[in-house]
Structure 1
Amino acid sequence: MDLNDIPMSPHDDQAKKHALLAYLFMVLGLFTGIFWLIGAVWAMAKARDARGSIFYDHYQNIIGIFWWGLGLSLIGFVLALFFVGYLLLLGVWIWSIVKLFKGLARLTSDKPYNS
């Protein structure tokens, strides 16, 4: 039996909507930093409500992208005095795009992030 064969509960539906909103804010945040923060805070605020839903790991993905992206970006800014910092910043940006769009694709297909 596939997950798509199981009807979503109202809890799952609500968790999906909040995760979608967080992903969209994070995608906008790739170009305007404030939305990056809004998406991460939204995911952190709604993660507790999503516990037990099939979409809970999407919240962990979004929060992980934020913290890893923030930490590696700070290192990249420090290293921007040298060329390697710009490469690190570019790598973090590309990594974030891949993770966000993989999450969006799985979420809109009604699948958990990790399966």
Structure 2
Amino acid sequence: MMMTERDEQAKTHALIAYLMMVFGLFTGIFWLIGAVWAMAKARDAKDTLFEDHYNNMISIFWWGIGLSIIGVVLAAFVIGYFLLLGVWIWSIVKLFKGLAKVTSNQPYRSF
């Protein structure tokens, strides 16, 4: 499949956002920077091969934030620690799946 210039740019920006979010799993601030990068570049990726990668990253960010807040609140009851661990593992799986797909020039949800 031949990629257009827009596809190439969308892929590059998706890679940057994914890598920042992966690094952010260990530092925190890069999680936010990667998500903001994805949100800022999502419009440029509209109607490209990589459009759904941006939806994936934005979804991981918002679900991760929401579930982490719940996990912090529930940490007083110990179950929150398990929720936080689960969110972290879920994020790793989704981000690395996205990285594997984007480097293979595939949409996130390929059938």
The TM-score bracket by the shorter chain reads over 0.9
User: Aligned partners of 1:22 and 1:78: how far apart in 2?
Assistant: 28
User: Aligned partners of 1:94 and 1:82: how far apart in 2?
Assistant: 20
User: RMSD value over aligned CA atoms?
Assistant: 0.3
User: Aligned partners of 2:90 and 2:47: how far apart in 1?
Assistant: 28
Q: Residue in 2 aligned with 1:3?
A: none
Structure 1 consecutive aligned stretches of length 4 or more whose deviation exceeds 2 Å: none
User: Aligned partners of 2:90 and 2:81: how far apart in 1?
Assistant: 14
Identity %: 73
Query: How far did 1:7 drift?
Result: 1.0
Structure 2, unmatched stretches of 5+, are none
The normalised TM-score by structure 1 is: 0.95
User: Aligned partners of 2:50 and 2:59: how far apart in 1?
Assistant: 15
The normalised TM-score by structure 2 is: 0.98
User: Aligned partners of 2:30 and 2:84: how far apart in 1?
Assistant: 18
Q: What does the per-residue CA deviation read over 1:36-84, in whole Å, with 9 as the maximum and x for residues that have no partner?
A: 0000000000000000101000000000000000000000000000110
Residue-pair matches, total: 110
Superposition pairs of residues 1-115 of structure 1, within 5 angstroms:
6-115=1-110
Q: What does the per-residue CA deviation read over 1:81-106, in whole Å, with 9 as the maximum and x for residues that have no partner?
A: 01100000000000000000000000
